[in-house]
Structure 1
Amino acid sequence: MPLILGMSVLLACQFAGELVARGLALPIPGPVVGMVILLVVLMVHGKVPTSLRLAGEGLLRYLTLLFVPAGVGVMVHFRLIGEDLWAIMLTLVGSTLVTLGVTGWVLDRLSRQHAVRTGRPGNEP
């Protein structure tokens, strides 16, 4: 029964996200909005309920199966990907560099805040 309750919560958040995304004509997918809704609910609640944890662990156990359709799509559309290979590679490398830069910047800011709060010397300027 807890597994059914956890899956129901996940599906309800996804449905709410779809309603919000379509109702407000957001350029963000409904499941992403649903994840934000779930995050806010969990932050307000303060902990992850057991039923939701069980459902999440069950889904994560089989997450690798979701990569099979993507792999098949790559093989089926290999010619199309080859035509735009340079653009795809440039986008992948560029987005990776931006992600690394932003992650480093956020880590630096958080470590400085932590050092100030705890009174320990850190990376202060």
Structure 2
Amino acid sequence: MIRAIAILLGYQLAGEVTARALGLSLPGPVLGFAALFLTFLVWPPLHAMLANTARGLLAHLSLLFVPAGVGIVRHISSLGDQSVAVLVAIVASTALAIAAGATVFALVDRVTRR
């Protein structure tokens, strides 16, 4: 498990170093994930080495959202003046996302029935 975590963190570090060295606006972990995916394609045994550890991390993924929740709670007072705008933005973006999903579903349904 330690080896698998070290491999995952190594890919993340490589992606971060690459993104910063090249001045890319793409996040380093995304580059690292892409490199890991390419490595899986080239060397499939790596997938078997990382699978159990990755499943364990995904099972506890909700723990990674704790820092964001703490940040929101810490700055809740600064949200007070803008709470109406934030609420409107959340409701509107949710409604637009649902509408976009329904529209795409209807279009795909229409195309696939032909």
Q: TM-score, normalised by structure 2?
A: 0.69
Give the count of matched residue pairs. Answer: 112
Gaps of 5+ in 2: none
Cα separation, partners in 2 of 1:94 and 1:43, compared to 1, 3 Å: farther
The answer for the alignment partner of 2:100 in structure 1 is 101
What is the root-mean-square deviation in Å for CA atoms of aligned residues? Answer: 3.3
The answer for the alignment partner of 2:57 in structure 1 is 59
- Structure with more helix by fraction: 2
Question: Residues of 2 paired with 1:100 and 1:37: CA distance?
Answer: 35
2:113 corresponds to 1:123: yes
Partner of 1:84, secondary structure, is helix
Question: Residues of 2 paired with 1:29 and 1:99: CA distance?
Answer: 27
Greater relative contact order (CA < 8 Å, ≥ 6 in sequence): 1
Question: Residues of 2 paired with 1:39 and 1:5: CA distance?
Answer: 18
The answer for the alignment partner of 2:6 in structure 1 is 8
Q: Following TM superposition, by how much is the alpha carbon of 1:27 offset from its aligned partner in structure 2, in angstroms?
A: 1.5
Question: Residues of 1 paired with 2:26 and 2:102: CA distance?
Answer: 22
Q: Following TM superposition, by how much is the alpha carbon of 1:105 offset from its aligned partner in structure 2, in angstroms?
A: 4.3
- Read off the aligned partner of 2:70 and give its amino acid letter: V
Alignment of 1:1-125 (within 5 A): 3-46=1-44, 49-89=47-87, 91-93=89-91, 96=94, 97=96, 101=100, 105=104, 122-124=112-114
Q: TM-score, normalised by structure 1?
A: 0.64
Percent pairwise identity? 35
Partner of 1:49, secondary structure, is helix
Cα separation, partners in 2 of 1:100 and 1:41, compared to 1, 3 Å: farther
Question: Residues of 1 paired with 2:102 and 2:10: CA distance?
Answer: 31
Partner of 2:54, secondary structure, is helix
Question: Residues of 2 paired with 1:51 and 1:79: CA distance?
Answer: 46
